[in-house]
Amino acid sequence: MKVVIFAGGFGTRLMEETEARPKPMVEIGGKPILWHILKMYEHYGYNEFVICLGYKATYIKEYFYNYYLHNSDVTIELANNNIKVHYSETESFKVTLIDTGLHTNTAGRLKRIQKYVQGETFMLTYGDGVANVNFKELLAFHQSHGRLATLTSVQIPGRFGNLEINAAGEVGTFVEKPAGDGMWINGGFFVLEPGIFNYLSEDMDDVQWEKGPLVAIAADNQLAAYKHNGFWKCMDALRDRIELEEMWNSDNALWKTW
What is the number of other CB atoms lying within 10 angstroms of the CB of residue 248? Answer: 18
pLDDT band at 164 (very low <50, low <70, confident <90, very high): confident
Give domain 2-249's CATH architecture: Alpha-Beta Complex (3.90)
CA distance 196 to 217: 8
> What digits encode the pLDDT tens for the residues 72-125?
999 999 999 999 999 998 999 999 999 999 999 999 999 999 999 999 999 999
CA–CA separation, 192 and 223 (whole Å): 9
Confidence band for 158, pLDDT divided at 50, 70 and 90: low
Domain boundary assignment for the chain: 2-249
Band of the pLDDT at 165, cuts 50, 70, 90?
confident
- Which pLDDT score is estimated for 115? 97
pLDDT in tens, 7-31: 999 998 898 889 899 999 999 999 9
Contact of 189 with 150, CB cutoff 8 Å? no
Highest mean pLDDT among 110-119, 159-168, 182-191: 110-119
169 pLDDT higher than 70: no
Residue 255 pLDDT grade (very low, low, confident, very high; cuts 50, 70, 90): very high
pTM of the model as a whole: 0.90
- Is 131's pLDDT higher than 90? yes
pLDDT of residue 200: 98
Angle at 4 between CA 35 and CA 132, to 5 degrees: 55
With beta carbons less than 8 A apart as the criterion, state whether 30 and 248 touch: no
Q: What is the pLDDT of residue 59?
A: 97
| Residue 3 φ/ψ region, left for φ over 0, alpha for ψ in the -120 to 50 degree band, beta for the rest | beta
Identify the pLDDT of residue 16: 85
Q: Let me know if 38 is exposed, middle or buried by CB neighbors in 10 A (0-12, 13-18, 19+).
A: buried
Give, for 63, the enclosing helix (H) or strand (E).
Answer: helix 57-65
Name the nearest CA neighbour of 2 among 56, 31, 45: 45
